[in-house]
Amino acid sequence: MEHYIYHVNNNKETRLFVQVWEPTFKPKAFICLVHGIGEHSSRYHIWAEQFVNKGFAVISFDQKGHGLSEGKRGVITSYSDFMEDIDFILDEGSRRFKDIPCFLYGHSMGGGEVLNHLIRCKSNYIGVISTSPWIVTQAAPPKLAFPFLRLMNKLAPSFSLKTGFDSGMLSHDTNVAENYDDDDLVHHMVSFRLFVDAYDAGYFALENASRISKPLLLLHGEADEVTNCKASSNFSEKSSNLCTFIKYENAYHELHNEFCREKVFADIIEWIETRLKETN
């Protein structure tokens, strides 16, 4: 396996940290991976290695305000920043892996982003994988709080608060929580703009699920206490037959770090291989 890390300026001259995992031979496809809020791409190193072992390349990046990329922690200008950076990393992958099929993969907040990208944007990826997406959060503030949140989104959009996130909700494996808590690149900040825009984008995706025009693999743990499995189920029901929805009994938020991760990985590989056969 080859592993490369580098920085590159996006279209708005924000310096983003990028990393690539690839086999020593021509990959069957490449996967653009979008991480969740507060974390960073290096948390997916072992997961990416598994894809490489199956003949796939993975390219990922630390989102603006995360990990080793520039930007104030947990702050965005608008949700369109996410869409533009996904376009940017897709272009980066296409330059690196010319004439090789592409899949877009996002987890948690990144899972919500890739759903929105699938609905809002045009791209030449073959399909999208979304795990535990932020469509609806389990700990959303009460509706009575939203007039205040929307006001603060206008008056102080970059003002950030600590999320109070409980790492024990990530996985049944206690080592996952310990490593998360000890990770200096993990942060716990969210700005009013990021929260309100991501919240609205989740409901936008749900309301426009029927607009998806490419194959989608949607995965969620039934016991997820971070994002809402029922919302993913509702998205699947509202979407076309292009969506394949799989839920995992008793599984928490990070399916790639859960007791069922081997089954999750096998389901993803089977789905990708099927999509590749369909395009040949």
Q: Which helix (H) or strand (E) holds 268?
A: helix 261-279
> What CATH number has the domain bearing residue 49?
3.40.50.1820
pLDDT band at 153 (very low <50, low <70, confident <90, very high): confident
Give me the percent of the chain exceeding a pLDDT of 90.
85
Q: Please give the structure tokens belonging to residue 271.
A: 């789905």
- For residues 120-127, average pLDDT: 94
DSSP state of 237: H
User: How many structural domains does the chain have?
Assistant: 1
Segment 26-54, tens digit of pLDDT: 999 999 999 999 999 999 999 999 999 99
Quote the CA–CA distance of 178 and 186 in Å, as a whole number. 12
CA of 228: how far to CAs of 115, 135, 153, 222, 231, in Å? 15, 7, 24, 8, 5
Give me the percent of the chain exceeding a pLDDT of 70.
99
Does residue 139 surpass a pLDDT of 80? no
Which residues is 22 bridged to in the sheet?
A: 2
Q: Which helix (H) or strand (E) holds 111?
A: helix 109-120
> Please, are residues 158 and 197 in contact by the beta-carbon 8 Å criterion?
no
Which residues is 247 bridged to in the sheet?
A: 220
> Which pLDDT value is given to residue 168?
97
CA of 57: how far to CAs of 19, 35, 43, 121, 208, in Å? 11, 16, 16, 23, 31
> Which pLDDT value is given to residue 138?
83
Segment 244-277, tens digit of pLDDT: 999 999 999 999 999 999 999 999 999 999 999 9
Quote the CA–CA distance of 239 and 36 in Å, as a whole number. 23
151-159 CB contacts, 8 Å cutoff, 24+ apart = 152/192, 153/192, 153/193, 153/196, 153/197, 156/192, 157/191, 157/192, 157/193, 158/72, 158/75, 158/191, 158/192, 158/193, 159/191, 159/192
> Please, are residues 150 and 236 in contact by the beta-carbon 8 Å criterion?
no
> Which pLDDT value is given to residue 162?
84
Quote the CA–CA distance of 26 and 55 in Å, as a whole number. 8
Quote the CA–CA distance of 188 and 170 in Å, as a whole number. 14
Range of the domain at 188: 2-279
Nearest to 242 by CA among 211, 276, 213: 213
> Which pLDDT value is given to residue 161?
81
Mean pLDDT of all residues in the chain?
94
